[in-house]
Amino acid sequence: MTLISGDFQEVIPAVLPFYHIYGLLSLAIASLHQGSKVVTIPKFDPALFLSTLAKHKVNTTAVSKHLLMWWNYDTERCHL
């Protein structure tokens, strides 16, 4: 994670569940402690996830293996 400097602020989508230790530590605690903007997503929905990336100009993300597998499989439809 990058510390905030000047006008820069990390923007992170919170697609991982906070009840899991990885989501809780990487998103809720560490990111907020460093001053990052955390955009919560209530549940994983491909269209919502991709629109969140674009709308909030996300520059950092913490994802699970399954999300990466979906992203790799569905790359042609994602148009990123």
> What is the rounded average pLDDT of the residues 38-46?
85
* Domain ranges within the chain, ordered by starting residue: 16-78
Burial class (CB in 10 A: 0-12, 13-18, 19+), 80: exposed
pTM of the model: 0.66
> How many alpha carbons lie under 13 Å from residue 9 in its C-beta half-sphere?
11
Predicted confidence (pLDDT) per residue in 47-67, tens digit: 888 898 899 998 888 777 887
pLDDT of residue 55: 94
